[in-house]
Amino acid sequence: MREDMVILTRSFDMLTWLLPRAEAFPKVQRFVVTQRLVGAALDFHEALYDANARAGRKRLEHLEAADAHLNKLRLYLRLAFGWGWLKDGQYQHVSAMIAEIGRLLGGWMKQTRGYGKSASGE
């Protein structure tokens, strides 16, 4: 299986784990932090799909956008953990998922940069 397909699968797995847990976050924060966390996760996944549908420089632009969304997701997860909305084991689990996804994303970005240089002569 290609690396880009693996990251799509891992991202989908992360979403299916995260979204139900976010529904259990305090209702007071549901339309503030929770909405941003879920939005960052969904935006990340969508950016991966957009990147997968493109090549070269356009793919890299979408991968860089995905990286920015992943960084936001990390921030909101740290906040959720710090406020006690995620238990230690839950935070460790989602952090491991995010770390793997980050490594896959970094590899895909590196591969795309290498491809762009050789394909366009830059």
Cβ 120 vs Cβ 57: under 8 Å: yes
Amino acid (one-letter) located at 106: G
- Give the CATH class of 3-120: mainly alpha
What are the pLDDT digits (tens) for 41-57? 999 999 999 999 999 99
Report, as an integer, the average pLDDT of 12-36.
92
With a cut of 90, say whether residue 120 has pLDDT above it: no
Q: Spell out the domain ranges in the chain.
A: 3-120
- The whole-model pTM stands at 0.88
Rounded to whole angstroms, the Cα distance separating 13 from 26 reads: 23
Rounded to whole angstroms, the Cα distance separating 56 from 59 reads: 5
What are the pLDDT digits (tens) for 62-77? 999 999 999 999 999 9
Q: Which residues contact 121 (CB under 8 A, 6 or more apart)?
A: none
DSSP classification of residue 85 = S
